[in-house]
Structure formats: C-alpha cells, structure tokens
Structure 1
C-alpha cells in the first residue's frame, strides 16, 4: 500500500517567523504520524506473523511427509519453506516444505527436508523458513592405493585424503587392520563414487553398506546380501579401470566401505584410485 506524502514541503528559509515555524512543525508532526500509521498498516498486510504457529501433536522426527494440526487462519501456502522445531529444545528441528494447509481446520501437511536431532516429541513451534539456502559442500575424497586391511582383507585402504569438508555430516576412519570406512553422521542424500581396477583378473569391486562380510569377496558377498550393495563393477582384464556412482539416502550411523575382491587391492593400473562421498543438500 502507498505511504502518504508529506502535505507540504518544509520552508527552506532562515527568516521564518515564529508563527510560520510553529505551523511547519505542527504539519510535520501530523505527517510523521500518518507515515507511521501507513507503515504499520503495510506491515500488518504482509501477514508475516501469520506464518508462526504451534502444535501439540506427537510424532517422530523423520524424512517422511507429515500431517499435523496447527493454529487456524494462518497464511501457509504450498511451497513455503518452514522450520518445525521442538519448542523446549529448538536444536531439534526439521527444515521443511509446506505441501498443503487448511486455514479452517489448521491441518498442515509438510515434508521435512533435513533432520537436526532425533526423537518423538509433542511440543512444536512452526516458523517461516526464509529464502532457499545455498548448496552445501560436504565431501570426502580419498585417493591412492595403500592395499587392504590386514584383518578385513576385502576392504580397501587409501594413501591420502584429497578433500575433507565433511563438517558434521560424515567421518572418515583409516585403519591398517580394518581398512578405511566413512560413517554417516546425519541422515541425508549422498553421492557415492568409486574409480579403480582390481589387480585380479575378473575381480569385482565397489562400495558396500554396513557389511559384515569384511573378508568376503565383493561379488560373493553382494550376491548373498543385496541389501548391502551400493555400487559395483568389474572387468575381465586388470589393466582396465572403471568407475561408478550412485545417489542414495543414508541414515545416521550407516558405514560405507570400498569393498574389493578378497585380498586384491585397488591398483587402478596407472590411474589414481578414488573413493568419494558427497552430501547433496543445502547449507
């Protein structure tokens, strides 16, 4: 809405009489009051306060669409970004996307995009989420062949960390006995990439999820435990390197390893072996 202009310009004259000065100041006071009223009306018309509400519904924090009851007559619209946070502990929150809202009943359907914390709670505060954040750069890149674990003989080891901007999202652990692993610390969508080649002709390699077959040849283990499979490839010749990648949703606590043909390290045969995991999401 428009803001009312001042009724008349102030005198620009150093020879104002006392009466003229009083008149000008009186008009200025009236105009300032009108501007304040116009600004208040404009802010009220934006209905920003109508994007805040609460809910006493009990539900578990998860990356799945949820339906709850919040305050009625709010201004949520499909596509709005909101933050659903526990009132007594806002560190437990879910940046989310509004799917639908019924202002008459207060039914709010939203899709959590990210989880900060875990648990089942019944004291929720819902607030406007603001602008779309920038893309994150959370990634771990491992390079070079350092053989396999002395105990976990099917698990690859790498010589160097080329990049580690993992932040709070994942952790890298290297062990001469157990091999290398990356642990997911926060649930989200990630890309897993591997490039290399087995020293054994006809050997297979890839990446496994939460596997217990740490001394079992990759293809044998994945055939008997397909739920552990992330990516995999193999060639009839050990001189030909390959690569593969996949985007998946991982949960906090998941462990990802570069899994080999048993006792066969990833030589990449002239190419640098690479194993990387990158989070796909927003800051």
Structure 2
C-alpha cells in the first residue's frame, strides 16, 4: 500500500489501472478511522480491483465555531487500518493541494440541502459537494462507498452525480453501530462514557418511530415527534434534540400525514450531547 499526496499522481494511477481493465473504487473519509470505515473498505475491495481511500479533513464543510481544529487526526493509525483492510492507496493531500491560492469554484446543490442539516449547518453541503466532486475527478472511481449514517449527504451526492452526469455510482452501506446501538463516528471520541451509554436512546427513538408507523399504523407524524421527544427527555434530559424528522428518502420532503404515503421513509435526527453533535437515521419502506 502506498500513500500519495499529489492529486495529479492519483489521476495517473487511476488512469493506468482503468486502461489495464481494472476497476477502481474510492472510500472517501476524513480519517480517524473506525469499524464503519473498515466495513466500507471491505465491501469496496470485494467488488473492485483497486481501492483508494482518501483521508482529508475538509475545511470547507466546517462552519464558523465548528470542530475543524479539534477534529481527531492520526494518519499513522489510519495507515495501519487501511493496510489491514486491503487498501491499495491512501490519498492524503494537504489543504493547499486540494484548494489552491486562487480557488473560486464551488459546487452547490439546492433543494435537498436546504432542510434538516442545512438548517443548522449553512454552507456545509456546498463544502461536501465541492470536495467530493474534486475527489471523484481525481480518483475517477467506478464506484464510491459511504455509510448510511449520513443519509442527507448521500441524498445530496446522488442528486449531484445524476444532475452533473458524473460517471460513477454511489454505494450506500449499512451503518455500523456500538453494542448499545450508537452509530459509529469519529466524533464519538469526544463523548464521556456516561454520554455514550445515554446516547443509545437515539437509535431507540428512531426504532420507536418505525414501530409506530409500521406496527401501530400511526399516520400523524406530529404524534410521533412528541412521543420521541418525551422519551429523550426521560432518558437523557441533558441532551439537546435539534431535529427529529420524518421525510421521504429522495428529496427529504417532510411527511405530515403518512396515511397516503408509499415508498422509502427516512427518520433522521440530530442531537447535542454536551458539546458533541450526533446524527443518526433509519430507513425503511411502507
């Protein structure tokens, strides 16, 4: 396995393998890898010949006052994880390599970005869409792999690659969880042990929403919201729920009345445990 810092070198590597008839896959990450990332690497390597893992903490998707400077980084640790998982290359550019002195271009997706996370993190998805476009242009993968935990990000990127005719496929993989249901995340390192235990309530209220819809046949989403909030207040009153929403899984339009809805339902939430912001979701069909 090799670590490459220059984007032009990665382009040449990818082009060489594609000309040799081999398929190239990308797992884009911000590093400080965990079991969720490893599961993406395993799937990508099983389905493709060459695996590139990008490790880049992208400054343009962090807003003012967010945790860019504190975001955990450990490239030596990540190197060994990638090597063990079967990666062929790590693309680990500097910020100056990804964004030159005079970088005036950004990719902006409308509509699907202007809700949920978009209400709390303005400009975040411009940063995501721009850096992913650059990574796709650099690595030219047949497929790239992301986890379900970032459901809105996945919806944004699916819309982007469709609208811009980018020749790749996004493969969304199952969220990997702790034993108590907490979704694996690099930011979990900021949580205390008590917060980690209490955060199990997040996956619980997502599943309760699903149960109310599928088993209890509840169609009034306002009732489900209130029910979920009551459970959170009881189990973890110090947590701050920023949103708990029931939407479709393509355009992320909020569903008020489920009685006439048919298709994939996304229940997503964002919650602050102390200074750490956690997101999670559940997707199912009705």
> Which TM-score tier does this pair reach, normalised by the shorter chain?
under 0.3
Higher strand share: 1
- Of Structure 1 and Structure 2, which has the larger fraction of its residues in helix? 2
* Bigger Rg, structure 1 or 2: 1
- TM-score, length of structure 1 as denominator length: 0.24
